[in-house]
């Protein structure tokens, strides 16, 4: 293999790749708000928790230099190299994130351990839900707690104000976030500028802090006290939380704007602020109670609370929107039941609202605030989900390097070894926080993983059971197609299988004893690419006697709208008119059994999920007055 095999590949070009629209400067400003809101709010609590958290460190020059050095080199290795330089090039036709990467690997990599890869990707998705609950709670709480620095008597108002902000944030989701989103970039631009200025003013007074960028201080940090240094990593990693957003939001902004925003603005602003806080701690260890707000002059602390609160709202909004997007992908890829999805923008397809996810997040976030009471307690729960997702991304990256990009061992093994050492060390350090709250994201991840895998497995078993009793279509057309009474109009029978006769068609013939002049057997396929080109989205086959088989293909980022798709179908007789078309759906009733495939409790869980799934009529945007549902019992 040549040396060129170890180089980073260009982004995959395809007509199905919907490139972000807008100028580089405009997209960079937008990425600044949406992508970096989470990692940008870390200075509010990261350094404080490292020195005054569950495992406090002595505050002296060597310890502070060591922590600052660890933060800097973690940003370089994890964010700049792993995510910005490498992972953003592992895009699925422009889209990023664990599920998009999983779909890319499933489509292109022929590996024996594909089941394990799928489970890893699904678990990363489940962990993301835990992160999307903790991020709004800890970010907003830590910002509002700045009021106590301004005036200690305001402590009783912190939790009520934080809850009010969070409730308001979740309530506005149903109206869409386009107008609020337009403010994201400018708000975070002001916030990062403030971070940089405050940090610089402190560094000017204590320029020696710049020596902390030397990697020797990071190594020396562990040599002084190996165990305490290891425990401190559980708090140091808070400085790089939010890196998953870099990859997941790539499809919205593109690689270059994200790279520009990070390299030219975000990382310099963050490091200036962290070094400014470190210099202040060395000079006055008492400021460890809240170094972020105490870094500002007294007259600016109240305005800083306002600026920081706006920034945490932006960070929370980005995570909530991310939860909607991840859920939409999971629905399309078959890991989550159908849910009601509202599109909040006529121009931007990616702006969606999922009521079930929004309401569940709101309740759980408020419960977190009430249970943990302050950001320091929440910090103990934060990090497990993030470091777990980072570790899984490294596992998936290993598959990409070996199976997709075909890197030679001499180039890939040392690089992966560094990433695995960093990720495993951070993850192990955060596991020590499980008794203090780290159990929460793991519990959410376990519940999410169980539900996602149960739905995917149950759905597969249900389709297999239904196919077992299917009648071959040619035999049915030859007998019923010629003998049954035909009535005017079109009947569309939705079916998950492209073989055999749909149950809804058999039930309709059995009860109504007629067939329509045109019978369309329709299967909707969700491909493992974000978007499917129009010339590849239809597969039409004429079966004779007025029967047609139609397969409509969508990407996992596309909206499923069957009437709109049928209007584009050609070579199928007369034009589709909704008033002359009836849609027949089979509503399955699951009967749990002792048949092999799934444990009985999982069968019952799958049956419950199926009962509560959004109806196919609403999910596929079928006209309600043209839909006929026919029941069927399936034993799994």
Coil, strand, or helix at residue 149? helix
590 bridge partner residues: 634
Chain segment 514-557, per-residue pLDDT in tens: 888 888 888 888 876 777 877 788 888 888 888 888 888 888 77
Share of the chain above pLDDT 70, in %: 85
Q: Whole-angstrom Cα distance, residue 580 to residue 379?
A: 59
The confidence score (pLDDT) of residue 303 equals 92
118-124 mean pLDDT? 78
167-183 mean pLDDT? 71
Question: Can you give the pTM of this predicted structure?
Answer: 0.78
**pLDDT exceeds cutoff 80 at 28:** no
Structure tokens, 222: 């562990």
The confidence score (pLDDT) of residue 3 equals 40
The confidence score (pLDDT) of residue 93 equals 66
308-334 mean pLDDT? 82
pLDDT band of 15, cuts 50, 70, 90: very low
The confidence score (pLDDT) of residue 96 equals 67
Coil, strand, or helix at residue 549? strand
Which range among 47-61, 289-303, 465-479 shows the weakest confidence by mean pLDDT?
465-479
pLDDT band of 210, cuts 50, 70, 90: very high
The confidence score (pLDDT) of residue 7 equals 44
The DSSP bridge pattern shows strands 342-343 and 352-353 to be: antiparallel
DSSP 8-state assignment for residue 534? G
Report which secondary-structure segment, H or E, holds 367.
Answer: helix 355-372
Which range among 228-232, 343-347, 610-614 shows the weakest confidence by mean pLDDT?
343-347
91-115 mean pLDDT? 66
The confidence score (pLDDT) of residue 497 equals 74
541 bridge partner residues: 549
**pLDDT exceeds cutoff 60 at 395:** yes
Residue with tokens 């997709």: 404
194-223 mean pLDDT? 91
pLDDT band of 65, cuts 50, 70, 90: very high
Q: Which residues of 156-192 are buried (b: 16+ CB within 10 A; e: fewer)?
A: eebbebbbebbeebbeebeebbeebbeebbebbbebb
- Residue range 29-442, CATH number: 1.20.1740.10
Q: Is the dihedral of CA 17, 18, 19, 20 positive or negative?
A: negative
The confidence score (pLDDT) of residue 83 equals 86
**pLDDT exceeds cutoff 50 at 88:** yes
Residue with tokens 């059995």: 510
**pLDDT exceeds cutoff 90 at 169:** no
pLDDT band of 14, cuts 50, 70, 90: very low
- Based on the number of CB atoms within 10 Å of its own CB, is 564 exposed (0-12), middle (13-18) or buried (19 or more)? exposed
The confidence score (pLDDT) of residue 295 equals 92
The confidence score (pLDDT) of residue 11 equals 43
The confidence score (pLDDT) of residue 176 equals 63
| CB distance 311 to 191 below 8 Å | yes
The confidence score (pLDDT) of residue 242 equals 76
**pLDDT exceeds cutoff 70 at 13:** no
**Which region, left, alpha or beta, applies to residue 329 given φ > 0 means left and ψ of -120 to 50 means alpha?**
alpha
User: What is the domain partition of the chain in residue ranges?
Assistant: 29-442, 469-635
Which range among 44-53, 240-249, 285-294, 384-393 shows the weakest confidence by mean pLDDT?
240-249
The confidence score (pLDDT) of residue 92 equals 67
95-113 mean pLDDT? 66
**pLDDT exceeds cutoff 80 at 111:** no
Chain segment 407-455, per-residue pLDDT in tens: 888 888 898 999 999 889 988 888 888 888 878 888 888 888 888 888 8
Instruction: Compute CA 400 distance to the chain's CA centroid, rounded to the nearest angstrom.
Output: 19
pLDDT band of 208, cuts 50, 70, 90: very high
**pLDDT exceeds cutoff 60 at 68:** yes
pLDDT band of 16, cuts 50, 70, 90: very low
pLDDT band of 213, cuts 50, 70, 90: very high
Q: Whole-angstrom Cα distance, residue 534 to residue 493?
A: 22
- Alpha carbon dihedral 174, 179, 182, 186, in 10-degree steps, equals -100
DSSP 8-state assignment for residue 8? P
The confidence score (pLDDT) of residue 539 equals 83
Mean predicted lDDT score pLDDT of the chain: 80
**pLDDT exceeds cutoff 90 at 392:** no
Structure tokens, 64: 């502070």
**pLDDT exceeds cutoff 70 at 584:** yes
pLDDT band of 9, cuts 50, 70, 90: very low
Better-predicted residue by pLDDT, 342 or 359: 359
The DSSP bridge pattern shows strands 342-343 and 514-527 to be: unpaired
The confidence score (pLDDT) of residue 432 equals 84
pLDDT band of 373, cuts 50, 70, 90: confident
Question: Which contacts of 115-119 are long-range, i.e. CB under 8 A and separated by 24 or more positions?
Answer: 117/395, 117/396, 117/399, 119/453
The confidence score (pLDDT) of residue 22 equals 53
78-84 mean pLDDT? 88
pLDDT band of 73, cuts 50, 70, 90: very high
């Amino acid at each position: 293999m040549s040396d060129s095999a170890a180089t980073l590949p260009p982004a995959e070009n395809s007509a199905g790749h919907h490139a972000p629209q807008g100028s580089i400067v405009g997209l960079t400003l937008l990425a600044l708000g949406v992508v970096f809101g989470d990692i940008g709010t870390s200075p509010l609590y990261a350094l404080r928790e490292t020195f005054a958290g569950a495992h406090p460190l002595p505050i002296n020059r060597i310890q502070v230099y060591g922590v600052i050095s660890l933060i800097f080199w973690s940003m370089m290795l994890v964010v700049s190299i792993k995510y910005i330089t490498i992972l953003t090039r592992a895009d699925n036709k422009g889209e990023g994130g664990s599920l998009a990467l999983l779909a890319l690997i499933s489509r292109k990599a022929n590996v024996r351990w594909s089941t394990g890869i799928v489970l890893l990707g699904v678990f990363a998705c489940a962990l993301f839900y835990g992160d999307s609950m903790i991020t709004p709670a800890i970010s907003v709480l830590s910002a509002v707690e700045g009021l106590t620095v301004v005036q200690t008597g305001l402590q009783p108002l912190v939790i009520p104000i934080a809850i009010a902000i969070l409730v308001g944030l979740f309530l506005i989701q149903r109206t869409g976030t386009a107008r609020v989103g337009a403010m994201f970039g400018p708000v975070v631009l002001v916030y990062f500028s403030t971070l940089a200025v405050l940090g610089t003013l402190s560094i000017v007074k204590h320029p020696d802090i710049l020596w902390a960028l030397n990697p020797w201080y990071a190594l020396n940090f562990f040599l002084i006290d190996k165990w305490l240094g290891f425990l401190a990593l559980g708090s140091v990693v808070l400085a790089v939380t939010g890196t998953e957003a870099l990859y997941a939001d790539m499809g919205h902004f593109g690689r270059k704007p994200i790279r520009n925003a990070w390299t030219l603005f975000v990382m310099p602003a963050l490091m200036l602020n962290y070094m400014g806080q470190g210099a202040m701690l060395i000079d006055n260890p008492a400021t460890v109670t809240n170094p972020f707000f105490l870094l500002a002059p007294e007259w600016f602390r109240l305005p800083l609370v306002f600026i920081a609160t706006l920034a945490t709202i932006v960070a929370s909004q980005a995570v909530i929107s991310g939860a909607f997007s991840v859920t939409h992908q999971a629905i399309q890829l078959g890991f989550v039941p159908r849910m009601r999805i509202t599109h909040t923008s006529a121009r931007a397809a990616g702006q969606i609202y999922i009521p079930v996810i929004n309401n569940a997040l709101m309740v759980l976030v408020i419960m977190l605030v009430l249970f943990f009471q302050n950001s320091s307690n929440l910090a103990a729960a934060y990090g497990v989900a993030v470091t777990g997702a980072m570790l899984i991304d490294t596992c998936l990256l290993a598959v990409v390097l070996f199976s997709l990009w075909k890197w030679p061992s001499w180039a890939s093994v040392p690089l992966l070894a560094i990433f695995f050492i960093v990720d495993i060390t951070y993850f192990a350090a955060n596991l020590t926080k499980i008794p203090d709250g780290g159990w929460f994201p793991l519990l959410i991840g376990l519940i999410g993983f169980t539900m996602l895998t149960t739905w995917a497995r149950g759905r597969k078993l249900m389709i297999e059971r239904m196919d077992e009793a299917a009648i071959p279509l040619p035999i049915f057309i030859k007998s019923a197609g010629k003998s049954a009474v035909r009535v005017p109009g079109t009947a569309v029978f939705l079916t998950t299988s492209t073989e055999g006769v749909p149950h809804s068609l058999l039930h309709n013939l059995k009860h109504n004893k007629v067939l329509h002049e045109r019978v369309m057997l329709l299967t909707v396929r969700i491909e493992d690419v974000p978007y499917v080109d129009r010339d590849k989205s239809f597969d039409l086959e004429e079966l004779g006697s007025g029967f047609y088989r139609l397969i409509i293909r969508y990407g996992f980022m596309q909206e499923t709208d069957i009437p709109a798709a049928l209007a584009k179908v050609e070579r199928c007789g007369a034009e589709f008119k909704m008033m002359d078309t009836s849609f027949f759906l089979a509503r399955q009733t699951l009967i749990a059994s002792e048949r092999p495939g799934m444990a009985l409790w999982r069968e019952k869980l799958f049956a419950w999920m199926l009962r509560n799934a959004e109806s196919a009529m609403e999910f596929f945007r079928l006209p309600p007055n043209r839909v006929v549902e026919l029941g069927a019992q399936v034993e799994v």
